[in-house]
Amino acid sequence: MTFWIVISLITLATATLLSLVLLRGRDSGEPAAAYDLQVYRQQLRDVDKDLARGVLQAADAERIRTEISRRILSADAQVQAAASGHTQPRTLTSAAAIALIGLVCGGTYLLYANLGAPGYNDLGLQLRIDAAAERAATRPTQAEAEADAPERPARVVEPGYATLVDQLRDTASKRVDDAQGQALLAQHEANLGNFAAAAKAKANYIRIMSGDVEARDFGELAELQIMAAGGYVSPEAEDALRTTLTLDRFDGGARYYWGLMMAQIGRPDVAYEVWSETLAMGPEGAPWVAAISAQIEDIAYRAGVEYTPITPGSVPAPGRAPAAPAAGPSAEDIAVAEDMSAEDRQQMIRGMVEGLSDRLATTGGTPQEWARLIGALTVLNQTERAQAIYAEAQEVFAEVPEALATITAAAKQAGLSQ
């Protein structure tokens, strides 16, 4: 109500000022001709004085008097016309002033009713929380988000790699209960940018494993669903993230996406709390650290928090045990492609390895993924390259003992260290 009172007073004051200008235009005092008349009469007196002093000749004085008299008659006619009411009518002027006030006030109201937000109250904290909860409950599903997501350009892959993936799709479709086949399919579909298909294969893998999976499996599923939806966190992705954080509440990738979801539904306060804690835990160089650092200042502004830069890894996550080392492609991985020739199998493995290597080099990854790459390169007899990747991983995770334990275990398994 206060808003309407203030706005009404401002509008009325503006309209009144405009009306006063219109009214004063009518009652502006004597017309200009009255002043001209006084000037002309003074000029007549000056002509008589000049003639008496001999400044003017009689003939010139008479000619000047005639011209001034003509001007006096014209000015007097204008004064008489103004006095007789032939100027701006009083009644019409008053009516126009009242109409102007109505037009300004009414027009302002109509504009606000159509372009503004009438009835939109100032939202308190609880109302904002309730609105966010409603937005979260009614937001689009994964299928709807994928249907509306912009089409992505096709990724450039090695010649023949797409054909090999087609063969893998065919093999995996015939072995619907083969967990390793679904895992391979998820990875290769992701390499090609087919995130929706990769998410479906990953979900099949989790279903087949019947609970014998790790937190990172659900985290990968959520990430694939989010990428398939163009960065939107759907209810299905939320479920996968919740399971990930239930199994491992310090999973950095899942915490990043959880904060992103909170920002999307209108809870920047929760998003900032999650992101600031995740950023402080680090480790520096992790892919989610860069993603959070690029957005957290804006989230802090939206949350009403005065942002202070946070050093990644300044507060290590407590109680994290080293994850089990992840091996490279195993005999089971290759067996899923047993219908292929030996050359095709090797090419498929190389495609998988190159995709993983490129991703780690550009966006980083988890210690398990670095360990997997080291093992895969060893399987391909690329020992020198595996040794270089091992050295690089040691630099990336130098400040994270738990991650180094995972990397070192994989290197020992591959025969790179003692």
Tokens representing 270 are 């929760």
**Most distant CA pair in the chain, distance:** 134
Tokens representing 297 are 């200042």
pLDDT of 327:
39
Output 94 or 181, whichever has higher pLDDT.
181
Average pLDDT over residues 209-222: 87
User: pTM score, two decimals?
Assistant: 0.52
Altogether, the residues listed in the chain come to a count of 418
pLDDT in tens, 122-154: 556 677 788 888 988 999 999 999 998 888 777
pLDDT in tens, 255-297: 999 999 999 999 998 999 999 989 888 787 888 888 999 999 9
pLDDT of 96:
81
pLDDT in tens, 365-386: 777 778 888 887 877 778 888 8
pLDDT in tens, 42-59: 888 888 888 888 888 888
Is the model's pLDDT at 240 over the cut of 90?
Answer: yes
Is the model's pLDDT at 316 over the cut of 90?
Answer: no
Q: Shortest CA distance to 284 belongs to which of 406, 368, 400?
A: 400
Tokens representing 223 are 């990430």
DSSP 149: S
Alpha carbon distances (Å) from 171 to 158, 337, 346:
21, 7, 16
pLDDT in tens, 5-30: 887 888 888 888 887 777 765 555 56
DSSP 358: H
pLDDT in tens, 178-207: 888 898 999 888 888 899 999 999 999 999
Sign of the alpha-carbon torsion through 67, 68, 74, 77: negative
Q: Average pLDDT of the chain?
A: 80
The C-alpha atoms of residue 348 and residue 370 are separated, in whole angstroms, by 19
The C-alpha atoms of residue 178 and residue 136 are separated, in whole angstroms, by 35
Side chain identity at 90, as an amino acid letter?
Answer: R
Average pLDDT over residues 387-412: 81
Chain-centroid distance of CA 24 in Å reads 53
Q: What is 96-139 written as a DSSP string?
A: HHHHHHHHHHHHHHHHHHHHS-TT-PPP-HHHHHHHHHHHHHHS
Output 90 or 38, whichever has higher pLDDT.
38
Q: What is 49-80 written as a DSSP string?
A: HHHHHTSS-HHHHHHHHHHHHHHHHHHHHHHH
pLDDT of 343:
63
